[in-house]
Amino acid sequence: MVKKIGLLTGGGDCPGLNPVIRAVVRKCLEYNVDVIGIKNGWKGLIENSTIKLDFQSVSGILPKGGTILGTSRTNPYKKEEHLKSLHENYKKLAIDALIAVGGEDTLGVADKLFKEGINVVGVPKTIDNDLSCTDYAFGFDTALNTATEAIDRLHTTAESHHRIMVVEVMGRHAGWIAVEAGIAGGADIILIPEIPIDMEEVIGLIKKRHDRGKTFSIVVVSEGAKFGNKDLVTQEEKLDEFGHIRLGGIGDILARLIENKTGYETRVTVLGHIQRGGTPTAFDRVLGTRFGVKAVELAIAGKFGQMVSLQGNKIIAVPLSSAISELKTVDLELYNIAKVFFG
């Protein structure tokens, strides 16, 4: 019987984490199950850094961004002693089940630990919306709305100054934020990782707008977009503990190329971590709440090695191994809809 559940949030922060934490704790109260909050992702389980979560500790956190538990990009499989400490602390804490909230990397660790005997349930979190087996991860809708609002605001200054505005958004290797925010914000060109950038086409579309009397353009580019077969544009060569490079800078390169090839004044705006911060939208609050409740139900039922998932309007369970097997990239049908409005 499950009497104590451990809860951690790992990887990048995003809006909606606190609604999940609140939902887990409130649902556990129905079952008289104790909840131990593990601080700073997998790092907290390695260092045995925890906090007891109860009704009072989750009161008022629903609208707050970030996570009251803290987070990190710690990978316990980088060092053998860390993995050993993690297993020892799991036993010391007398946890009957563990709920891990995170993206591809956090849930990848969760899947490995499940195969090593730890009772774990996963909850999908990523603003990139690139986890398989779920229509949406919480955090994406808030990031999408933030990016859309930024594009809306850039329209007015672009039109006033007759400029080309390049907007760089997050998404790593999936262009969901770029394509959906671009459509919603009325962008004139959208560039995503799934399709190599064709500069001749970009320049042609911008000139086409000017020939029609439009003196400004909005270009949305995902941080993971590439020029043909060239390497990804990165901020530094250093890798994180999961082997990821720090992307960023494609917007600056693109803006210089556009200005040099067209002569039109061009500016770049990098939204960066603004997309990950702030109050979650109503959609993310509800989705996070539904995920948290379902995760507890799976744990109580002993259905481990599973991830909660939104498919249609239903919250179901899918194998963790399936959810992390491959990235969910942009559906080309959606991108073709966006292309109708290019130029």
Count of residues making up the chain? 343
Q: What is the CA radius of gyration of the chain?
A: 22
Q: Report which of 77, 72, 153, 148 is spatially closest to residue 109, judged by C-alpha positions.
A: 77
Annotated catalytic residue, options 105, 111, 128, 284: 128
Task: Find out whether 129 and 162 touch, Cβ atoms under 8 Å.
Answer: no
Dmax of the chain from CA atoms? 71
**Distance (Å, rounded) from C-alpha 278 to C-alpha 15?**
6
Does 13 participate in catalysis according to the annotation?
A: no
Residue 58's contacts (CB-CB under 8 Å, 6 or more residues apart) are 18, 21, 22, 25, 26, 68
Residue 85 burial by Cβ neighbours in a 10 Å radius (0-12, 13-18, 19+): middle
Query: How far from each other are the two terminal CA atoms of the chain, in whole angstroms?
Result: 61
How crowded is residue 235: how many other Cβ atoms within 10 Å of its Cβ? 11
Q: Dump strand ranges (E) for 155-203.
A: 164-169, 189-191
Q: At what angle do helices 17-30 and 282-300 cross, to 10 degrees?
A: 40
Q: Which residues are catalytic?
A: 128
